[in-house]
Each structure stands twice: as structure tokens, then as C-alpha cells.
A = this chain, B = another copy of it.
Amino acid sequence: MSSLLGLSFIGFARGQSTAAPYRAINPATATALEPDFFPATAAEADKACILAAQATPTLAALSGKKKAAFLRDIATRIEAATPSLVARATQETGLPEARCQGEIGRTMGQLRLFADLVEKGDWIDARIETANPDRKPLPKPDHRSLLRPIGPVAVFCASNFPFAYSVAGGDTASAFAAGCPVIVMGHHAHIGTAEIMGGLIVEAVKANQLPEGTFSLLMGEGRVIGQQVAKHPALRAIGFTGSRVGGRALMDTAAARPTPIPVYAEMSSVNPVVLLEGALASRGDAIATGLLGSCTLGVGQFCTQPGLIVLTRSDAAESFINKLSALFTDCADGVMLTAGIHQAYQKGLTARAAQAGVKVVAQGKSSGQPNRAVATLFATDAKTFVADASLQEEIFGPSSLVIWCADQREVDAVLGALHGNLTATIHGTDAELAQHAALIARLEAIAGRVVVNGFPTGVEVSHAIVHGGPYPSLSDGRTTSVGSNAIYRFTRLVCFQNYPDAALPTELQNLNPLGLSRLVNGSRSNSAL
């Protein structure tokens, strides 16, 4: 830990200690941690962007094999540094050691997934249309397309994932995989962890002989230095995980630039869970136990935390809510990531409890220690919910709102009023699911992932995962921020017309030297031309 300098990485150089410093705080004890961290200066942020622009063509020309080696090297360095990463992160975040260990495993898994993807190479969507000089009325030219890196990407780290959505997290891994330089804004909630991780990436950049501008890590406030980076002419895209206010501010900045750029912000989601009567009658207790676990996992600080529970009045539903209430009441409090998050949680609970038509159904135990969140279950009725959009604002933490519906029409009204979400969940018997196809289609329309008879927390890192959904869950509801599809966020299409074979990117050359699956004149082929 003594090796922490509290300074940004501007390419291979370190930032200066000129700005007013701040410290990381241990939220479990509300005490400040050594050492001082110095926000990046405006000149340093500018330098990071210019270095990234300079690195762009070299990274764009990098083979999939070389990108894979770089990503795997980062993973290997993380593996070796795991003890120091865990030691620092547990102090900074209050997260238990096992969680940090698990999240580091996931982070390495993400890096290796993207390494495999780019080494294989098919992801690049190589397409070839061969020339036909005899075509009437006009000859057909040879033209070939693939995906190219979009250019420098700024990554804003998440408070709630010190590893998987931070310095070497999914946004960084997918941007590197696409061939983009990355400028990371460290999160103050785990800035020491960020510095350790940043050092590992810089070592990997050097060891793989990549250009200096491949990676920079800026300490400091997203609202100041992050906005400056977002406006920088060299920047081409933004990845962000955080609050709706913060994400929307970046979206607005990016849209107002002389040259607008895409923003991939994962912002807020209340993850509705619809419970049908038959499911509650046949396995209500199991659903209650599973739901409690999903609501309170990680002290409710997951973007897929189920914040809305939608059901119709029935005996089974009443006894289910009694069971769920008992579980909430039994629940111990947990330390939140930062004092700020804890204060926001408290404020959210107080405001919701004061709303007309909303009541507190159950509340967990309080230990009285600092920054602890008490699990809280609210309830309201469908009419109140539909009439008040503020009831679908996320209260980040272990709190959920039960929405009692009189009948299926009210359930439809509730779903019709919902904004976009990362996930939507439904529990029903086979017969109920077959009967409620329209309801399931409604869930699909408002979410990026629909879960049947399961729980929304626990996001797979795979080829088929979608961690995205309509606004405001994502700024750009077409995409995903997790899984191999995330790479496409940082790419652009380019077509090469009438190129001499040797001047083409390897992926498009006649002999298909990489053995890719390519779309040749509309048919898939792994062969040479």
C-alpha cells in the first residue's frame, strides 16, 4: 500500500501533486485512508487526450492476436496483484473479501473473453462483394467492409464495482478489444484500488510495446475533469456507469459538442418483478427467499436490484408478502459503499415513506454503525404508482416497492407506465406463462433482459447476455455494456472499394489468412476467395 502515490497516469508519466488533494474513506468506520490523492489538472487531462489521439492509428492497425496478448497480459498482472487489490478495495468500499475476490475473477474473465473474441476474429464482421465487370446496367466494383475502432474512449468508473466496471472493467476491456485507446476517470470511492489497477495496465502497455497514449487514468471529479475530457475534440465515445443525473449530464455534453459523440451510460433501473398467482400459490416461500436475496445482495447496490414487485390481490399474494416482510424484518443492515450513497439512500427512504399512498411494510435491523443501510419494503397500489412517476425513481440500496394491483388490467397499466429498465422478471406456472404471452411481450418492450422464474441480479458475462435496456436504464438502449456484444459500441463500419489485395486489412484479403467466417456475396464462407 505504501507504493500508492495518489497521482494520475498520463500515458507513461505521472500526474502532478498541485491540485487540492482528497482521501479515500473507509465507509465501515468512516475514517480516511492514506495517502493523499491529487486530482488531474486541466493540462494533464488535455495531454491524456492528445496522447490517445496519437495512439489511435497504431492501435487501429493492431492484429487481433496482439490485442489478445495485451488483454491477457492485463489479466495475468491482475491475478498476481490480487492480494493487494483485495486489501485496498475492502478498505475503500466496505465490500467483503469474498466479493472482491469474486469480482476480480469476473474482471479477468471479461478481459479473457474479449481476448478470445479478438483472437478468433470473426466478430469484426468481414464482408466481401467481389467485382462483376459484366453486370448491367453498370459494372459492380469490388468492395469489402469490416468494423474499425471508433477512436479514443473515456471510461467513467462505477462506484459499485471497484473492478468489473472500473479501471480494467468491461468498458475498458471492450474498448481495448475494439482497438481504442482509453482514458479512465477513477472513482473517488475506490481511488487507491484504481491506482493499483492503473499501474498494472501501464505495465502491460509497456510490456506489449503499445503506444504511450493507449491508456491514461485521471484522478479527480467527473463533474470537472470528466466534463473537460467529454468535450475534448480528440474523444470519440464515452462509457459511463453511475447515476442518472451524471449520465444525462454527459449525454447532454456529448450531444452539444461541435462533433457529437456516442455515450454509453448505464444509469438507473428499478427492475420490475411480476408475480403471478399460480406461482405464488405453488412456491411462494421459495420466491420470497430468492427475492429477498436479490433485493439485498451487495447491500442492494446492484443495477439489477429488483426495486418493484408487481402482484394482484389473492390469498397466495397476501401470504407471500407476509413471508417477504418477515424476511426483510429479519435482515441485518449492511455497510454502503460511500457516505454519499448512504445519505442518498436515507433521503430516498424518508421521501418515499412520506408520499401519500405509500406505506412502509417492513424494515430490517439497524446496528447503529456508520453508513449502514437498513433493508426496507414499501407498498402502494397501482393507481398511486401510475399517477406518480417519482415512484419509479431508483432508491439505490436494499429497498423495494410492492405494487398491489386489483386485477390484470391494473398490472397492464403499471407496466404501460414503466420507463426503460435493464431487466424485467416474471414468475408464473407453465400454464400462466403460456396464457400471459402479451404480458411477457410488454416486459420485453421495456427491458434489455427478461427473466422467467428467476431473479435479475447475477449478470452473466457471455456472448448472449444483454446488460442494457431502454432509457433511462441505458443512454443508448440498442446496446449492452456486458458480454461480447459490448465491443460493437466502440466500432464504426468502413468499406474498402477496389483495393489492391495487399493494401486491404488482413481480415479482407483474398486468401483469408486468418480463416475468418466472412459474408462473401451474401453467403457465409470460411474459405479463401
Contacts from A to B (Cβ < 8 Å): 56-57, 60-61, 102, 116, 122, 127-129, 137-138, 140-141, 143-145, 148, 150-151, 251-252, 255-256, 259-260, 262, 419-420, 430, 433-434, 437-438, 440-442, 444-445, 447-454, 458, 460, 462-466, 468, 470-472, 475-480, 485, 491-500, 502-503, 517, 519, 521-522, 524
Contacts and interface: CB of A to CB of B under 8 A. Distances in A.
B463 A493 contact: no
Contacts of A129: 460, 462-465
Question: How many copies of the chain does the oligomer comprise?
Answer: 2
Given A433-B503, A472-B259, A497 B463 contact: no
A479 B493 contact: yes
A493 B519 contact: no
Given A465-B495, A466-B495, 4 more contacts: A144-B464, A448-B492, A452-B499, A468-B492
A519 B252 CA distance: 36
A144 B452 CA distance: 12
A31 to B, nearest CB: 32
Contacts of A517: 524
A120 to B, nearest CB: 9
B448 A495 contact: yes
Given A255-B255, A445-B57, A454 B495 contact: no
A451 B497 contact: yes
A464 B102 contact: no
A489 B448 CA distance: 16
Contacts of A499: 450, 452
A493 to B, nearest CB: 5
Contacts of A476: 262
A145 B467 CA distance: 11
5 contacts: A143-B449, A259-B420, A260-B471, A463-B519, A468-B492
Contacts of A477: 150, 492
Nearest to A442: B57
Given A262-B478, A492-B470, A492-B477, A498 B463 contact: no
A10 to B, nearest CB: 23
Nearest to A254: B255
A259 B478 contact: no
A150 B478 contact: yes
A477 B237 CA distance: 11
B452 A500 contact: yes
Given A260-B471, A452-B498, A478-B262, A127 B61 contact: no
Given A137-B102, A145-B485, A433-B503, A494 B449 contact: yes
B127 A444 contact: no
Contacts of A452: 496-500, 503
A450 B496 contact: yes
List 10 A-B pairs, minimum CB-CB distance, nearest first: A255-B255, A466-B495, A127-B464, A449-B495, A129-B464, A451-B497, A145-B464, A466-B493, A478-B492, A259-B471
A498 B451 contact: yes
Contacts of A148: 444
Contacts of A138: 458
Nearest to A467: B495
A487 B137 CA distance: 26
A430 B494 CA distance: 22
B495 A464 contact: yes
A465 B498 contact: no
Given A137-B102, A498-B454, A460 B493 contact: no
Given A503-B433, A517-B524, A494 B450 contact: yes
A448 B145 CA distance: 9
Contacts of A140: 460
Contact of A143 (B252, B259, B440, B460): B460
Contacts of A447: 494
A141 to B, nearest CB: 6
